[in-house]
Structure 1
Amino acid sequence: MPPLKFMADTTIICSKEDETRRLLTRLDDLMSWCRMEFKPKKSRSLSIRRGKVDEATTFTLAEQQIPTVSHEPIKSLGIWYDSSMKDTMRGSETLELAS
């Protein structure tokens, strides 16, 4: 039986774009060394500059572009994340689930 491979969710927070790119490159190298691979289509990126979402900044992993939460929101632990950076919908969603 082949060995099973598992990867938990990972969040990367960097203060500079070039730091993020270097870290993603290093992580990709480590994954290759482990004979594992990331699935960029299942990942999301969010770049914030001066308190606002920066739509122009994109990142790549395994030579594939990571989708941004602006273009493809993502659900994690039951919560949807998008570029609005607001949780005003959470109240109505909670009421809907409670009824």
Structure 2
Amino acid sequence: MLIPKLLLPVLVYEISTSTVESIEGKISRFTRKWLGVPPGLTDVAMICRKAKLRLPLKSIVEDYKYGKATLMTMFEDSEDPAVRSIQP
């Protein structure tokens, strides 16, 4: 529920990938503390979609990159020439 609310401003405004990575690190740290897992548990174990024990967690950085790519495609494939000429 937090990620969609977080991603909209991140996609609209110019925020660097390193900033999004630091936000994900902070969220990951608090999530680990809340779940009570050891700090050595990797992000792969928490975000993996193919593991037998899957947690309903998503990577914010992956969603950020996917959202930016979608935004670029929407600008490039727009019917309106004014929108198509925008250089994000």
Specify the TM-score bucket, using the shorter chain as the normaliser: 0.3 to 0.5
Kindly indicate which of the two structures has a greater share of residues assigned to strand.
1
TM-score (normalised: structure 2): 0.36
Highest RCO, 1 vs 2 (Cα 8 Å, sep ≥ 6) = 2
The structure with the largest helix share of the pair is 2
